[in-house]
């Protein structure tokens, strides 16, 4: 009687198993490369996460909140008054800050008696801002600052606890990374364009005023 071969023990039956293991490694490698190709450009050019640290934007944003930053919109449009932006700190670009845009390029921002006004440099006409996002935190700052054609004046909503343009000056356009797009965490605070605000008082844009 001829011996009966066991297909489970034959060299031929072992080869597909080995090839299957190699195939799995190749597929994992392909997936990792594909993930890098998609995720890295997405993080660099479209959106990136940001975790709020500090009380400068309270109560609008609290420490530990997880945001997704829109890095695309400002490639096609200019930052607007009331936008909540993330930017590189002008005095140390390795640090990222979150603040609200108050003054736009070409404008004069004036702070006095706890209120903020935008001044037309051509006529000296003052337009006060209706800052309803400020609960009770109005400070007694007194200053007037003229913005260049590429500068933005920013402040935190928690004025008494915020280090902002009042202390270290305007933010250059090139330092702005993007604006708050989605608040992911905590779940109860989930929202799109969190903290965005449209002022009720109509304001002119003085960006064409010569410096």
Backbone phi and psi for residue 61, each to the nearest 5 degrees, phi listed first: -135, 140
Instruction: State how far the Cα of 68 lies from the Cα of 181, in Å rounded to an integer.
Output: 6
Structural contact between residues 130 and 201, judged by C-beta atoms closer than 8 angstroms: yes
Structural contact between residues 157 and 134, judged by C-beta atoms closer than 8 angstroms: yes
Instruction: State how far the Cα of 116 lies from the Cα of 103, in Å rounded to an integer.
Output: 10
Instruction: State how far the Cα of 170 lies from the Cα of 90, in Å rounded to an integer.
Output: 8
Catalytic-labelled residue, pool 23, 99, 149, 160 = 99
In which residue are the tokens 């195939």 written? 23
Instruction: State how far the Cα of 144 lies from the Cα of 34, in Å rounded to an integer.
Output: 52
Instruction: State how far the Cα of 141 lies from the Cα of 134, in Å rounded to an integer.
Output: 15
Catalytic-labelled residue, pool 10, 23, 53, 56 = 56
The set of residues, in sequence order, having a beta carbon less than 8 Å from that of 204 and lying 6+ positions away, is 120, 127
Secondary structure letter of residue 189 according to DSSP:
G
Q: Half-sphere exposure of residue 156, counting CA atoms within 13 Å on the CB side? A: 21
99 is catalytic: yes
Q: Which of the residues are catalytic?
A: 56, 99
């Amino acid at each position: 009687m001829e011996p009966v071969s066991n297909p489970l023990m034959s060299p031929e039956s072992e080869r597909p198993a080995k090839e299957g293991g190699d195939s799995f490694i190749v597929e994992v490698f392909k997936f990792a490369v594909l993930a890098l190709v998609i995720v890295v450009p997405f993080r660099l050019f479209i959106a990136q996460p940001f975790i709020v640290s500090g009380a400068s934007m309270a109560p609008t944003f609290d420490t530990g909140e997880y945001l997704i930053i829109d890095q695309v919109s400002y490639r096609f449009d200019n930052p607007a008054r009331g936008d909540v932006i993330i930017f590189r700190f002008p005095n140390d670009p390795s640090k990222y800050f979150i603040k609200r845009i108050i003054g736009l390029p070409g404008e004069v921002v004036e702070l006095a008696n706890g209120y903020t006004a935008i001044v037309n440099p051509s006529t000296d006409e003052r337009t006060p801002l209706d800052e309803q996002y400020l609960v009770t935190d109005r400070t007694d700052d007194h200053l007037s600052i003229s913005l260049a054609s590429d500068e933005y004046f920013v402040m935190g909503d928690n004025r008494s606890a915020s280090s902002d343009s009042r202390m270290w000056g305007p933010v250059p356009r090139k330092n702005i990374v993007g604006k708050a797009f989605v608040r992911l965490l905590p779940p109860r605070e989930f929202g799109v364009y969190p903290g965005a605000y449209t002022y009720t008082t109509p304001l002119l844009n003085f960006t064409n005023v010569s410096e």
